[in-house]
Structure 1
Amino acid sequence: MGSTWENVWSRYQISSSSQQAAGLGRRLSVCQLHSSPVCCSVIDVMSDDYQYIHKSKIPTMHFQKSLLRLPIPALDKTCERYLRSQKVILSSEEYQRTEKFVTQFREGVGPTLQFQLKDIDKANKHTSYISGPWFDMYLSDRVPVVLNYNPFLGFHPEERPGLSDPVIRVTNTLVSSLRFMRTLRENVLEPVVYHLNPAKSDTLMFRRIARWTPSAISSYAAYAQKAFPLDMSQFGSMFNSTRIPKLGKDILRADPKARHVLIMKNGHFYVFDVFDKDGNILSPEHIHACVSYIYNDQIPPAKRSIAIFTTENRDTWAKCREELVEAGNEATLDVLDTAAFNIVFDETVLGDDHEKMYHTFLHGDGNNRWFDKSFSLICTADGQLALNFEHSWGDGVAVVNYHTEVAKDIAKRPSVNSDSRPAPIDASQLVRRLEFTLTPSLEAAIDKAHQSYEANTSALKIDLLKPGYFGKKLCKKNKLSPDSLMQLGFQAAYYFQNGESAATYESCSTSAFKHGRTETIRPATLETLAFCKAIAQAQPPSHSELKNLLNECSKMHGSLTKEAAMGQGFDRHLFALRKLAEASGSPMPDIFTDPAYAKINHIIISTSTLPSEEISFGGFAPVVSDGFGVGYIIRDDELGCTVSTYPPHCDGADFLECANKAYQIIKDVLTKE
């Protein structure tokens, strides 16, 4: 089973009676749009078809108990992998010094720290060795979450007539999100499973067998059918969850009993209940009425919105929050903290301006966002939609699953359309606009926060590489990894610019294991460096020689991907060992004080791909001021990417010109007979 496993992961508060009093009985018209004319059918709002996004035969958390635990790599292997990556970015002299420090660590304090780590892991079999330290890393960092942590994922534009209207799009997205939320809460959301051979395992029979297999062994039964369940622990923090600023270290707060949602517009905060007292989703007409009321509220934009505080240094924000509480705002803040999630009406018109889209969805003006919320759905004046999420509570598996399921549900069965009418209710009695008491010092803090925010966000520049060149089909035809060639283009671009390789990060999920988070793939390898040097020559090698180099790059990248997905990367292991060394109070081992350790963790090229067809594009800021934030996507016949930079430290446009050159060379090699 082990070898099969490795092969897989290398690829990879209104009551029901008040509803009726308002004329919202159990049956209503719900628009069902298809590829041709709009038709409407009558559906029961209390039925499973309306209340749930689906009802899985396998309980959501069925596999959780029997998931394999994240392995702690062998110390010798971690040291070897660390040196392998360091050799690409260090000079010969630097590498010799680092090699000496690694040897000292491996033969000295390293085994002691390794023993301690394994001992702690054995005592905490309910989780993974990295989960606690990783949460601490996120929550202890004092930098603002905006630009440093929060990414965004875009939904495809709504092409059907009338459905891009902001009120309609938000209502449909809200209803589908509530379906997902209730489905998850009641343990009937389909578990996330990777099927090696979907035709054989992604079947009704598999689900029936899995359902009746005891949870204690259910994952092993799935493995036997080459189906691989993923960790679902992060899903519990997706709704009614917020990051709360505290001095020194933030906390995550969740209240699954809360029944309201948060909507922001022009720096104002609105809340209203979306579930009745029995936990049922209120009707689309009811929700439509509340959303429409908020959207049409003519109150002027907030002169000073506390929203800007969520863009601040975390200790600065923590002090401001304490002052807000002292000024009598604790109960109102509690309403923000416990809302199911946040929806933002943004007045920006985007059109086809992808650069403007990137800035709007990544950061906006800071006055009309609550970046601490687990996630926010942002809808522009022309009905474009994206999801911006706070990263400490979870990673891509949970967020992408939500995004994908909601997008598909809206496409299949939107709840309202342009002909729909809101319920004939007085929404002003159901929607509450939150008011905050501000002291003079808080007003001054808001003004100061805006100055910092404008300076930080205005420094960010976005450049796009238009789709083209080649795609998955051509790569697979040549038996090469598409991802490896995308990453190779980034390596070549940097080499063309700077004549060397740089520390590069590619995210890899370890959700195949209980409480797995992420591991780092290090795409800068000796193989990619050899290819870059070859194509940078005045007289490059023949196509045949370059094809051999491409094969070597793809082979190594595949090996690194498999190692990372199997929990055998070196980054998280060294991170955990370093945290233990820090906690011991003894002098830090030289391996961690070595400038080379800082260099490899100063990520110049930070990359992440978009794994769902439902995601139009996404992005994030560079993780260092002199770095690149690269979001990329590769389809069957084309590739594309977006690069964020902080000029003048980096030139994103030139980086993409160099990437363009590299991808053209790769295409020529792949298409040469």
Structure 2
Amino acid sequence: MASLLSVQCVASLRKSRIYLRTAALGIKRNYSSQKKSSSEYFNQSVVPLIHHQKSLPRLPIPKLEDTIRRYLAAQRPLLDDDQLRTTEKTAQDFQNGVGKQLHEELVVQDMNNQHTSYVSGPWLNKFLSDRSSVLRNNPFMSFNPDPKTEYNDQLVRATNLVCSAVHFMKTLRAGFQEPEILHLKPSLLSRPLDLSPMLHLFNTTRIPKRGRDELFTDEKAQHLLVMRKGNMYVFDIVDRDGNLVKPAEIQSHLKYILSNPTPAAAFPLGVLTSENRDVWAGLRDKLIAAGNAEDLRSVDSALFCLSLDDESMRDDIYLAHNMLHADGCNRWFDKSFTVILTKDGEAAINFEHSWGDGVALLFFHNEIFKDTTEQPLVNPGSAAAAAVDSASAVRRLKFNLDSELENGIRRAKENFDSTVLTLKIDALKFMKGGKTQLKKSKMSPDAVAQLAFQMGFLRQYGQTVATYEACNTAMFRHGRTDHIRSATTHTKRCSHAFVLQPGQHSVEQLQAMLSECSKYHGQLTKEAATGQGFDCHLFALEYLAESKGEPLPSLYTDPAYVAFNHYILETSTLTSPALNFGGFAPDVPDGFSVVYQIHDDWIHCHASSFPARNGSEFVQCVHKSLEDIFTVLNGKPLSS
């Protein structure tokens, strides 16, 4: 489910000579060049962030026959002849029967809800109704280090990030934040993006409820939630006039928390947010009954969460584990976002996924990185505010816990450990080529990365499996994401030629196959980015059918459809000057989640997996696949 990226696609709209780039975790973009107009705002744009909201085009509902055609084309590389015939008949029966009726109802329903998209409500409900741990969906995005190394001190960087986040919030709420405009190439057209989810960025928490969670927002709250050693602290970072508290005071308060001798929480409440949602809902009710309603309200209404970790990061793999889950004790995974600072000044954002996608988070991520690195408000050696009484200003939340709640926390920690201790993250750095060379070869860099994943999995397991790449649809009003089904008949044929049939094809034949893969991937990306993908359409029709309380149409119970939506390869791409890398956990126990970046001269990816898959071997196979692809693109034959 998690998409990053970010977590979403690289689309080549060649016929119109327009090139669109989006990422699962956002849009590849340059920083805003507009400078801060005052000490309290990033800028003072005369056009507010969501000015274009009403004029954004609505997400189109594809024709049913197009959706079925595209669905069957995506199934073709995954099924044998007998399975495909059965699925084709099931799909055609659906198109001509109950599917046609559902589609007509969906169109009417969409016409009666012009303010939104046909998929936004069902999509949000799917997230909030999911009873599994949010760990499965919460992605992270890590910041690049501050170029001025002395600013990567934990206290200094934490203070600057908090201050920049408040400035962003004030700019956003004052209507001064300029819209995010996607500039398409060549400069024939610019499209504003839907960033309405940003309205849930601050003061928002996902509240566990039995059966379906709720999103809670309290814009009046002025405090920050800080977590350290599993203990929770709050203090105001906005004053009664709505302005940022003096940075030196915030620094004093954070210094007080970092030096606080309180031992690690014996029963860290935060681990409950990693539990099964119904279990957590029941325990939350017990917490409220035990007299903790006011402190829970302080957690839920806080502007955001800042986690100060005592760990130092040894390498990127350790960093990825820490930012994705850590030990579960120093996190409140239900907050809309958490800024994490390690002891050695590494920083990241971990965010709850139901309220929005990576476009909004990467926009925020980019802006505060730019602000903290270009206009920091505290400096190394800056003196904290001498006259501030942090002991009075900072309040540690103290929860009343009975034996039942203590046992619930113990069980939650046991469940958390049993999950994350089996999660493995592996990394690949391919240094023999990247975007520059691929473009010279007239290849889509994204298509080549996706093909390498297909080749790598085939090399390792001898199969072609259900794969998706998340593609953002933020060009449309309340668009979220759709999927690029990157396992195709073209990638299967090409992968077999490279992996299973070495020496049986000439360099020219292999180059032609690579070109076909690139062109077809571009077509799929264009369809998904322009609202012509099929996954959202089929999902919305299924949601509508479920709402009737009747048995699902046979299309959705077809074993091929069930397997098709059991994503073995979940992939997402993200690129930004502010971004180090990101990641998320696999959606299924036998899957890989792959987050990748295609740089000018190298390619980087992280793959996470559970014991059913060998992630280390997978990234080695992907590396070998990239080597083979670049060898052929350089006009050299493959070695047998």
Relative to the length of structure 1, the TM-score reads 0.89
What are the residue-to-residue correspondences of 1:389-538 with 2, within 5 Å? 389-424=351-386, 425-536=388-499, 537-538=501-502
1:190 aligns with 2:178: yes
Aligned to 1:172: 160
SS of equivalent to 2:624: helix
Distance (whole Å) between structure 1 residues aligned to residue 541 and residue 228 of structure 2: 46
In the other structure, the counterpart of 1:376 is 338
Q: 2:541 aligns with which of 556, 577, 580?
A: 577
3-state DSSP class of the match of 2:38?
helix
Q: Is 1:653 aligned to 2:621, yes or no? A: no
Q: Distance in 1 between matches of 2:256 and 2:220?
A: 25
**RMSD (CA atoms):** 1.5
**Offset at 1:268?**
0.6
Distance 2:21 2:419 in 1: 38
Q: Deviations over 1:540-587 (max 9, x none)?
A: 412111111111000000000000001111111000101111122333
Aligned counterparts, 1:277-296, within 5 A: 277-296=240-259
CA distance in 2, matches of 1:142, 1:94: 32
* Preserved contact between residue 6 and residue 566 of structure 1 (Cα < 8 Å): no
Deviation per CA, 1:314-342, whole angstroms, max 9, x where unpaired? 00000000000000101110010000000
Paired AA for residue 145 in structure 1: V
Query: What one-letter code is carried by the residue in structure 1 that aligns with 2:81?
Result: S
The residue type equivalent to 2:425 in the other structure is I
Aligned equivalent of 2:325: 363
SS in 2 for 1:50: coil
In the superposition, relative to structure 1, how do residues 665 and 5 fare at CA in structure 2: closer, same or farther (>3 Å)? closer
Amino acid at match of 1:323: K
Report the AA paired with residue 40 of structure 2: Q
- Counterpart of 1:33? none
Task: Give the corresponding residue for 1:73.
Answer: 62
Deviates more, 1:493-502 or 1:563-572: 493-502
Match of 1:105 in 2: 94
What's the counterpart of residue 644 of structure 1?
Answer: 608
Which residue of structure 1 aligns with residue 557 of structure 2?
A: 593
* Structure 1 CA distance for aligned equivalents of residues 14 and 377 of structure 2: 43
Q: Counterpart of 1:144 in structure 2: which amino acid?
A: S
Q: What secondary structure, in the 3-state scheme, does the structure 2 residue paired with 1:479 have?
A: coil
Instruction: Look up the SS of the partner of 2:576 in the other structure.
Output: coil
Confirm or deny: 8 A CA contact 2:430 2:623 kept in the other structure: no
Cα distance change of structure 1 residues 102 and 7 upon mapping to structure 2, 3 Å threshold: farther
Deviation at 1:411, TM superposition (A): 1.3
Q: Which amino acid aligns with 2:252?
A: A
Letter of the 2:367 partner, please give it.
E
Cα contact 1:194–1:229 (8 A) shared by 2: yes
Instruction: After superposition, give the CA deviation of every residue in 1:631-657 in whole Å (9 maximum; x if it has no partner).
Output: 10001111011111111x111111111
**Which structure has the larger Rg?**
1
Match of 1:603 in 2: 567
Partner of 1:547: 511
- For residue 307 of structure 2, give the secondary structure of its aligned residue in structure 1: strand
- 2:147–2:373 CA contact under 8 A, matched in 1: no
- Alpha-carbon distance in structure 2 between the residues aligned to 1:515 and 1:60: 14
Partner amino acid, structure 1, of 2:505 = P
Code of the aligned partner of 1:375: F
Deviation at 1:9, TM superposition (A): 6.3
Match of 1:130 in 2: 119
Q: Equivalents in 2 of 1:548, 1:161: separation in Å?
A: 47
* Whole-Å separation in 2 of the counterparts to 1:467 and 1:669: 16
Looking at structure 2, the residues matched to 76 and 9 of structure 1 have their Cα atoms a distance apart, in angstroms, of: 27
Corresponding residue of 2:142: 154
Alignment partner, residue 530 of structure 2? 566
Aligned 8 A contact 2:19 2:185 in 1: no
1:386 aligns to what? 348
The answer to whether the 8 Å contact 2:207/2:216 transfers is yes
Contact 1:10 1:559 in 2 (8 A): no
How far, CA to CA, are the matches of 1:538 and 1:289 in structure 2?
Answer: 64
Which residue type is aligned with residue 619 of structure 1? Answer: G
Q: Do 2:230 and 2:264's aligned partners in 1 also have CA atoms closer than 8 Å?
A: yes
Corresponding residue for 2:264? 301
What letter matches 2:350 in structure 1?
N
- Scaled by the length of structure 2, the TM-score of the pair is 0.93
Q: CA deviation at 1:10?
A: 4.8
Q: Could you report, residue by residue, the CA deviation over 1:371-421 in whole angstroms, capped at 9, with x for unpaired residues?
A: 000000111111111110000000011000000111111111111111211
Q: Give the drift of 1:440.
A: 0.8
Show structure 2 runs of 5+ residues with no match.
Answer: 1-12, 23-35
Counterpart residue type for residue 123 of structure 1 = N
After the TM superposition, which residues 10-49 of structure 1 pair with which residues of structure 2 at under 5 Å, given as runs?
Answer: 10-12=20-22, 48-49=37-38
Q: In the alignment, does 2:287 pair up with 1:324?
A: yes
Deviation at 1:11, TM superposition (A): 4.2
Residue 412 to residue 304, structure 1, CA distance change in 2 (3 Å): same
Q: Separation in 1 of the partners of 2:147 and 2:61?
A: 48
Match of 1:35 in 2: none
- The alignment partner of 1:519 has SS state of strand
**CA deviation map 1:569-628 (0-9, x unaligned):** 111100010111112233321111100110110000001111322110111111110010
Of 31, 52, 59, 1:63 maps to 52
Amino acid of the structure 2 residue aligned with 1:304: F
Contact 1:285 1:421 in 2 (8 A): yes
- What SS does structure 2 have at the residue aligned with 1:643? strand
Q: Which residue of 1 aligns with 2:585?
A: 621
Q: Deviations over 1:40-65 (max 9, x none)?
A: xxxxxxx9532112222322121111
Length, aligned pairs only: 609
CA, structure 1 residues 461+519, in 2 after alignment: closer, same or farther (shift >3 Å)?
A: same
C-alpha separation in 2, matches of 1:55 and 1:244:
34
Query: Which of 85, 92, 97 is matched with 2:81 structurally?
Result: 92
Residue pair 1:271, 1:433 contacting (<8 A) in 2 also: yes
Residues 335 and 5 from structure 1, CA distance in 2 versus in 1: closer, same or farther, beyond 3 angstroms? farther
Change (3 A) 1:486 1:370: same
Aligned equivalents of 1:420, 1:160: Cα separation in 2: 15
State the AA in 1 paired with 2:54. Answer: K
Q: Per-residue deviation at 1:538?
A: 3.5
Distance between the aligned counterparts of 1:156 and 1:60, measured in 2?
26
Contact 1:6 1:562 (8 Å CA) reproduced: no
Instruction: Letter of the 1:99 partner, please give it.
Output: E
Identity of matched residues, %: 45
Cross-structure match for 1:141: 130
Matched, 1:354 2:354: no
Correspondence list, 1:196-215, <5 A: 196-197=184-185
Check whether the contact 2:575–2:598 (CA below 8 A) recurs between aligned residues: no
Match of 2:106 among 117, 125, 145: 117
- Structure 1 residue 159: Cα displacement: 4.4
CA distance in 2, matches of 1:107, 1:544: 43
Partner of 2:198: 235
Q: Distance in 2 between matches of 1:5 and 1:174?
A: 45
Determine which of 42, 45, 52 is the counterpart of 1:53.
42
Please report how far the alpha carbon of residue 161 of structure 1 lies from its aligned counterpart in structure 2 after TM superposition: 4.1
Distance 1:456 1:405 in 2: 34
Task: Give the structure, 1 or 2, with the largest relative contact order (CA under 8 Å, sep 6 or more).
Answer: 2
**Could you tell which deviates more after superposition, 505-514 or 491-500?**
491-500
**Deviation of 1:467 (Å):** 3.7
Q: Return the letter of the residue paired with 1:150.
A: N
Q: Partner residue of 2:595?
A: 631
- Alignment partner, residue 228 of structure 2: 265
Decide whether the 8 Å contact of 1:9 with 1:565 is kept in 2: no
The match for 1:220 is none
- Tell me the alpha carbon deviations over residues 130-182 of structure 1, each in whole angstroms, 9 at most, x when there is no partner: 00000000000000001x10010010123424311111010011111111111
